[in-house]
Structure 1
Amino acid sequence: MLAAARAGRHALLVAPTGAGKTLAGFLPTLTELVEAPAEGLHTLYISPLKALAVDVQRNLLAPIDEMGLDIRVETRTGDTPHERKVRQRARPPQILLTTPESLSLLLSYPDSLTMLAGLKTVVIDEVHAFATGKRGDLLALALARLQRLSPGLRRVALSATVADPDGYRAWLAPYGDIDQVTLVQGEPGAKPDIAILLPEGRVPWAGHSGTYAIPQVMAEIETHKTTIIFCNTRGLAELIFQQLWKVNELKLPIGVHHGSLSLEARQRAEQAMADGRLRALVATASLDLGVDWGDVDCVIQMGAPKGSSRLLQRIGRANHRLDESSEAVLVPGNRFEYLEARAALDAVEAGELDPDVFRPGTLDVLAQHLMACACAEPFDGGDMLHEIRAALPYSALPAETFESVLQFIQDGGYALRAYDKFKRLTRGGDGLWRVTLPAFVAQHRLNAGIIVEAPMLEVRFRNGRRLGKIEEGFGNSLSPGDTFFFAGLALEVERVEQTDLIVRATAKQARFVSYMGARLAITATLAQRVRTFLHDRSQWRRFPDDVREWLEVQEARSALPAPGQLLVETFPHEGRHHMVAYSFEGWNAHQSLGMLITRRMEALGLKPLGFVANDYALAVYGLEKIEDPAALFSPDILEHEFVDWVQGSALLKRAFREVAIIGGLVERQHPGKKKSGRQVTFSTDLIYDVLRKYEPDHLLMRAAWQDARARMTDVGRLAHLLDTAAETMLHVDLQRVSPLAVPVLIMIGRETVAQSSAEDALLMEAETIAAEAMRVD
């Protein structure tokens, strides 16, 4: 890394967790500041998480203090006080730690142009976490701007899990020229020590939470110094936290950490971990990335990992020493999840990471960036287009598309141009674009950002202490006297005040908060490994007896699909006709497919009643027998039913709401007050209806379609499934439910897991269905 810096080259460092990546990324900066001490901003460090920036400050300050260096290091995130932000622009530290959103905001201030003119280095940590998404689009545009402000700027990116180094080198390099980027690869560390937890050697038929293993998880906590328990959802994190406390006979200190908790609650948990005061922390993806606590000696994954790269990241939170194995335990929720956990272990052993898909940058993000640039200074359209094309996601942006984005910021587009509130940019007689009114500058800074949460309610006690936020949809279902678990506490609702939910602690039985957030789907590479397990009998000897028996009876009673085959089973069960398709395309794609197939069944007179899905299979049920499943899986379903469904559902409206907020058309906040989620939704729904009627080809309508197709429905995986279904389908008509169908079938009527009592009922029902499925006669 030092050699690359001395040669003035950009660098991508790929090295395992615990190898010292962060310090290696900063070492050239420290060296340069020792050799030639200077005031002013030298290095920007960009991290995907606020917590990571604070953590790095802690780990960077120690060596700086030990060496007695006169170097100032500060953070700048959404949590940084306003006065400090103002002071930073006037008298910046030599090293500033920030996030992509805070950097974009910084670029909207005129004095930042002077502050950033002498910038020497940008260090991007955990680059894999955002390079392929909208936050990566925003960061790529910010890098292009920084490079123009400081042409000699050097770019550095760090990651432990990169499947395609050249893809990241192209993303990092100005104009995608990978020859400008040196690839530095660290030595591989000790292989992780991963086990799959199987209480009494049995794997449940159903469920996703792994609560059956809570006593064993508690035993792991008791025998380790510090444990992080990862959950795939915030709701599950609260559930597991409560379940652990029920069996925590030693009263060990255990915390909970997820993105909906208040800043204070998260910081308390992080500080307690850093100080070694917690024996365990139940967390979500909020701690996936490099928050490094040296005392963590065990990581537990509740439920399936969903991807080998994510599993490696999470395992990497344990034992930050390169020469010692990280210890991890996986707790599969059901039999398919056992196969997925085994597949993830094999992928990690083989060094196989999930592929990263780089795609063109989105136009709503571009609109936000252009507005930020205009807030800082007027710009020439031609110069700006040249600058933007230096960012890989926008390198092929057509000039006419760029003009349409400028036109959108200028007046909102054809259908909205009569309203002054949408006229944010003006082109002057000098040909330069500038902000129309100062009020639009304040509006941009209040509302900028890429992460659009569902409308939220603040949860707080009567004395004002804030616990965090819950989604408005769940909050609106609560009345005074209702109880729910949140932030590790049982809470009773006292009243609702506009955007606040006032609560008090209670000892009453409570339910768990549900969240709408995007669900993690199994990656295609992991799904392929699971399919191979089903087909390759030589692998079965590695499985527990009950999993092996499950597959053997399935093979005898029905069939097991080959890796390229689509197995579809039809059978009667409890007075209904069922069809189960084992397509392994992930939960999101299966949800979309279930919607489409039930619409087509309706049109064909098959009287559908509903569908359920998991990552591995889709089950549809109705009143009429499905004689010809192939007719339901034809590719034209994407041209007809898909378009009708998306346009008629809340899906497109939700996508439009996000792009309208990111693109700056609708503000979340006004100076001095904040809109409720309901007000924002009402505003975006009104505009959506106007545009759909009068300007369906509007820039934001196109962006919403792109979002709805790609992100919310996994339409790429769906299209592949439908394109190949006809030639790969194996239809087996059965007299009763098959063993392979049990995990998905018992989800009917039980899509949401609430109390542990509901989970118990689920497991009992599963055993009943399983007994029928496993009977050989």
Structure 2
Amino acid sequence: MTKKELFEIALHWFDQQGWKAFPFQKQTWEAFMKGKNGLLNAPTGSGKTYALWVPVVLNYIKNNPDYKTKHKKGLKAIWITPLRALSQEIKQAAERFADDLGTQMTVGIRTGDTDQKERAKQKRNMPDLLITTPESLQLLLASKGYDKTFKNCEAIIIDEWHELLGTKRGVQIELALSRLKSINSSIRIWGISATIGNLEQAQQVLLGPESKSFVNSTLIKANLNKKIKVESIIPKEMETFPWRGHLGIHLLDEVIPIIKKSKTTLLFTNTRSQCEIWFQKILAQYPEFAGEIAMHHGSINKETRLWVEQAIRNESLTAVVCTSSLDLGVDFAPVETIIQIGGPKGVARFLQRAGRSGHQPGKTSVIYFLPTHAIELVEASALQEAVKENTVEDRIPYLNSFDVLIQYLTTLAVSDGFHPEEIFPEIKSTFCYQALTDDQWNWILGFITVGSQSLQNYDEYKKVEILDDGLFKINNRGTAMRHRLQIGTIVSDAVLTVKYLKGGYIGSIEEWFISKLKPGDVFTFAGRNLELVRIKEMKVLVRKSTKKTSKVPSWMGGRLTLTSQMSALLRQELYKASANQASSNELKALSHIFKEQQKESIIPAEEQFLIETFKTREGYHAIFYPFEGRFVHEALGSLIAYRISLLSPISFSIAFNDYGFELLSDQEIDMQAVLDNNLFTMQDLHQDLQKSLNATEMARRKFRDIAVISGMVFTGYPNKLLKSKHLQSSSQLLFNVFRDFEADNLLYQQAFIETFEHQLEEGRLAEALLRIEGQTIIWKSCSKPTPFSFPIITDRLREKLSSEKLEDRIKKMITLLTKK
């Protein structure tokens, strides 16, 4: 069958659906059929799934002209998705096309949710098309005879590649691809990515660093002008001294009419605790929504999440309060409106969420921005610009993740074993390990066979045996089983299951939150008030409570930071306000706050860096405004505090938010000395950071994840997971051993590299310091706190006071400030 005839089959099917194929879809079919690898850049809801399912099926038809009568069994294509929630959706799309063409092709799903019976069935007889996750793909590589499973696989498609890039799950994919390419050299590799800043690099990470010179790789961009309409919910009244959390819920009455006029609305919150609060408040104030509103976040049980997703598709829900658990790919055609509660902190995240509405080609996506405090309206104005300019963040790939490599080699040793001389060139062909040296490689081989230098006396670290023919293999069944249980790179705090006393699973919650509660305490979870009865093994046993007051769980992942692109856009908006060029409605709405700010201080212009000092009954405050995001400010605050303490012995408490940081002390800082001694210099940055932040302590925490991923610490068997404090103490013990006796241990060194590069964003911090060095520092000695400083001060109080006390305290502060 000719290519033209094959395309006719697909186009005819599109006609039957009442669709028209986009140029980018046809381009992708064309490239795929020519045997090319590539990356498809297409926005959410543009038909990217059919851009790659169609050629997979057409290729099968081309190779099997009798496809309607004779079915050739065996795995032909793998579709990798980062989210289990997407697999059902993708399966339906693939089946729809394959069934309508009468191909007899089967589609299967293999994720953490797939039951044992289905897995066993797949082992005997693989489906033609397999939808899986990065972790489940690694588990397939851990099964005996995996090369037979993959030998006829013609394509592997990685969906949402922008989500995997810059994570260790992305590194897992790179390693798996290096193996699959060796098993079948003609396998086609395709990624699907939404827009990111470094698309060309994203393609290189996916296809390997050599791919840029390959003739058989291509980057296809879907030039669909997706219309996005951004509207801010601007409060009618705003206090001159804004603080976080105050505005959000107060705007509830503004949100309800938006929900009522749309078929379905998704309300995105940045954290699970915020999600729980909004769900409760809407039901408390508008009980008529009972049965029409639901909640969706990653800790709610699977059945409830699937029910919510299906209910959105069936149009039986008016609104869903959710977190990033609904960010990706799931196709909800009925969703008309998105409400983003609080700054999303990143352009890509905002655009991804906007794309959840109008999730069909050609439709406009409508997203409302609801500020949780007034200054977040500057973020809204910046996002409007980002949408206009199409500015999106880069995703920074990992390099030399030794922990993931050790896990991968152990996986190969568990299945059929490996010969190092065969595997080393494969690993070197990946982006992550392109610079791996012979010495590092030999260290890693030594590590998996005899343990590292300081662990050689302990048998538990001697996992892999070297057989007579030089094959590296694990023959111990216990070792193999423990390894299979621990495959993956997502290391979270120990998670406990929440259950009713009389049975009934509600969801899962992080141990660090529950460990703060005592029996009888009431907390809100999955939209219900629950009383803690007791904790038994890894189960939190609860009963329903009628108490009105409760604690809302917070999750460790809850604090997002501004991305560098978002920070730059935010500063541009403030520069406009400084020059009285505020053109957006959001900036105009803040004019009274800007006016108040300028009475006492300034709004910094592009060439200025602002420092404010003032005294309150709490002590002497110094506030610095880099507008670089909370992670950079945490590091920068510690750095400046450390450098000031070298000038004169003085101790500080440090507070920070996305806009700036505060140093609070009981004695006055000699600010002139700070300016004279150029404390924002790049000189000795790395050493000063290490000293100021107790980088060893941060690396120690980071090392826990590395120890788990590399298999040095075992997390436990299902239902008998180790508590996080046990994991922490085991990994700390190892960390201390390496620190004292083996400082050149690659995993120990990796903990420090990751702390600086990924957690503290040292590169971004250096850029911020370079910018500040080129600016004029304006120091304003103020008589009272300014509107810009107020959110930082109140954030610090939040850590100490309950929300009722905090609200009273802030009201008094505002009364005092406005009297002055």
TM-score band, normalised by the shorter chain? over 0.9
The equivalences for 1:175-190 within 5 A come to: 175-178=209-212, 179=214, 180-190=216-226
Residues 318, 480 of structure 1: CA spacing in aligned structure 2 closer, same or farther, 3 A cutoff? same
Amino acid at match of 2:243: A
Which of 672, 681, 698 matches 1:651?
Answer: 698
Residue in structure 2 matched with residue 665 of structure 1 by the alignment:
712
For residues 482-536 of structure 1, what are the alpha-carbon distances to aligned partners after superposition, in whole Å with 9 as ceiling and x for unaligned?
A: 0000111110001111221100111112110122226221111121122122222
Distance 2:109 2:276 in 1: 30
Q: In the alignment, is residue 214 of structure 1 matched against residue 241 of structure 2? A: no
For residues 529-581 of structure 1, what are the alpha-carbon distances to aligned partners after superposition, in whole Å with 9 as ceiling and x for unaligned?
A: 22122222354142455512322343453223233543222222235111111
Which of 191, 203, 206 matches 2:227?
Answer: 191
Distance 2:99 2:667 in 1: 74
Residue in structure 2 matched with residue 721 of structure 1 by the alignment:
768
Q: In the alignment, is residue 149 of structure 1 matched against residue 197 of structure 2? A: no
Kept in 1: contact 2:523–2:530 (CA 8 A): yes
Residues 146, 466 of structure 1: CA spacing in aligned structure 2 closer, same or farther, 3 A cutoff? same
Residue in structure 2 matched with residue 535 of structure 1 by the alignment:
575
Q: Secondary structure of the equivalent of 1:338? A: helix
Distance 1:713 1:703 in 2: 14
For residues 324-379 of structure 1, what are the alpha-carbon distances to aligned partners after superposition, in whole Å with 9 as ceiling and x for unaligned?
A: 20111011122331111110121012111112323414111111111111112221
Distance 2:306 2:187 in 1: 33
Q: In the alignment, is residue 12 of structure 1 matched against residue 39 of structure 2? A: yes
Q: In the alignment, is residue 513 of structure 1 matched against residue 564 of structure 2? A: no
Residue in structure 1 matched with residue 30 of structure 2 by the alignment:
3
Residue in structure 2 matched with residue 79 of structure 1 by the alignment:
113
Distance 1:52 1:563 in 2: 44
For residues 88-136 of structure 1, what are the alpha-carbon distances to aligned partners after superposition, in whole Å with 9 as ceiling and x for unaligned?
A: 1220001110111111111111232211111101111111001122111
Q: In the alignment, is residue 238 of structure 1 matched against residue 285 of structure 2? A: no
Which of 763, 774, 790 matches 1:742?
Answer: 790
Segment of structure 1 superposing worse, 606-615 or 330-339: 606-615
Segment of structure 1 superposing worse, 547-556 or 414-423: 547-556
CA deviation after TM superposition for structure 1 residue 176, in Å:
3.3
Amino acid at match of 1:28: P
Residue in structure 2 matched with residue 358 of structure 1 by the alignment:
397
For residues 398-448 of structure 1, what are the alpha-carbon distances to aligned partners after superposition, in whole Å with 9 as ceiling and x for unaligned?
A: 221122222222222111111000111222332222225232211110111
For residues 253-302 of structure 1, what are the alpha-carbon distances to aligned partners after superposition, in whole Å with 9 as ceiling and x for unaligned?
A: 21111122222232222222233222111111111111111111111110
Kept in 2: contact 1:447–1:664 (CA 8 A): yes
TM-score under structure 2 normalisation? Answer: 0.90
The equivalences for 1:455-466 within 5 A come to: 455-466=494-505
Which of 246, 260, 265 matches 1:227?
Answer: 265
Residue in structure 1 matched with residue 416 of structure 2 by the alignment:
377
Q: In the alignment, is residue 560 of structure 1 matched against residue 597 of structure 2? A: no
Kept in 2: contact 1:606–1:624 (CA 8 A): no
Q: Secondary structure of the equivalent of 1:491? A: strand
Distance 1:715 1:82 in 2: 45
Which of 466, 476, 481 matches 1:442?
Answer: 481
Kept in 2: contact 1:655–1:707 (CA 8 A): yes
Residues 575, 95 of structure 1: CA spacing in aligned structure 2 closer, same or farther, 3 A cutoff? closer
Amino acid at match of 1:418: N
CA deviation after TM superposition for structure 1 residue 646, in Å:
5.0
The equivalences for 1:155-174 within 5 A come to: 155-174=189-208
The equivalences for 1:241-640 within 5 A come to: 241-252=279-290, 253-435=292-474, 437-508=476-547, 509-517=549-557, 519-536=559-576, 537=579, 539-544=581-586, 545-563=588-606, 565-574=608-617, 576-602=619-645, 604-605=647-648, 607-627=650-670, 628-630=673-675, 631=677, 632-635=679-682, 638-640=685-687
Amino acid at match of 1:660: A
Residues 288, 770 of structure 1: CA spacing in aligned structure 2 closer, same or farther, 3 A cutoff? farther
CA deviation after TM superposition for structure 1 residue 60, in Å:
3.0
Residue in structure 2 matched with residue 200 of structure 1 by the alignment:
236
Amino acid at match of 1:540: A
Distance 2:61 2:809 in 1: 63
Distance 1:758 1:266 in 2: 35
Distance 1:313 1:223 in 2: 23
For residues 585-613 of structure 1, what are the alpha-carbon distances to aligned partners after superposition, in whole Å with 9 as ceiling and x for unaligned?
A: 21112122333444455555554341211
Residues 333, 176 of structure 1: CA spacing in aligned structure 2 closer, same or farther, 3 A cutoff? farther
Distance 2:698 2:441 in 1: 27
CA deviation after TM superposition for structure 1 residue 640, in Å:
4.0
Residue in structure 2 matched with residue 712 of structure 1 by the alignment:
759
CA deviation after TM superposition for structure 1 residue 13, in Å:
1.3
Distance 2:93 2:523 in 1: 37
Percent sequence identity over aligned pairs = 30
Kept in 2: contact 1:305–1:344 (CA 8 A): no
Amino acid at match of 2:470: G
Residue in structure 1 matched with residue 10 of structure 2 by the alignment:
none
Kept in 2: contact 1:76–1:96 (CA 8 A): yes
Segment of structure 1 superposing worse, 344-353 or 709-718: 709-718
Distance 1:110 1:6 in 2: 32
Amino acid at match of 1:747: D
Residues 176, 561 of structure 1: CA spacing in aligned structure 2 closer, same or farther, 3 A cutoff? farther
Residue in structure 1 matched with residue 91 of structure 2 by the alignment:
57
Residue in structure 1 matched with residue 164 of structure 2 by the alignment:
130
Segment of structure 1 superposing worse, 426-435 or 13-22: 426-435
CA deviation after TM superposition for structure 1 residue 28, in Å:
0.5
Amino acid at match of 1:217: V
Distance 1:223 1:281 in 2: 15
Segment of structure 1 superposing worse, 139-148 or 718-727: 718-727
Distance 1:769 1:25 in 2: 63
**What is the number of residues matched between the two proteins?**
772
Distance 1:254 1:714 in 2: 39
Residue in structure 2 matched with residue 676 of structure 1 by the alignment:
723
Q: Secondary structure of the equivalent of 2:288? A: coil
Kept in 1: contact 2:150–2:180 (CA 8 A): yes
For residues 663-720 of structure 1, what are the alpha-carbon distances to aligned partners after superposition, in whole Å with 9 as ceiling and x for unaligned?
A: 1111112477322222222211222222222112212111111221122222222233
For residues 188-229 of structure 1, what are the alpha-carbon distances to aligned partners after superposition, in whole Å with 9 as ceiling and x for unaligned?
A: 244111100113153771114722212222222222111111
Distance 2:817 2:102 in 1: 67
Q: In the alignment, is residue 41 of structure 1 matched against residue 45 of structure 2? A: no
Distance 2:48 2:801 in 1: 40
Distance 1:758 1:125 in 2: 47
Q: Secondary structure of the equivalent of 1:746? A: helix
Q: Secondary structure of the equivalent of 1:616? A: coil
Q: Secondary structure of the equivalent of 1:415? A: helix
Distance 1:63 1:606 in 2: 72
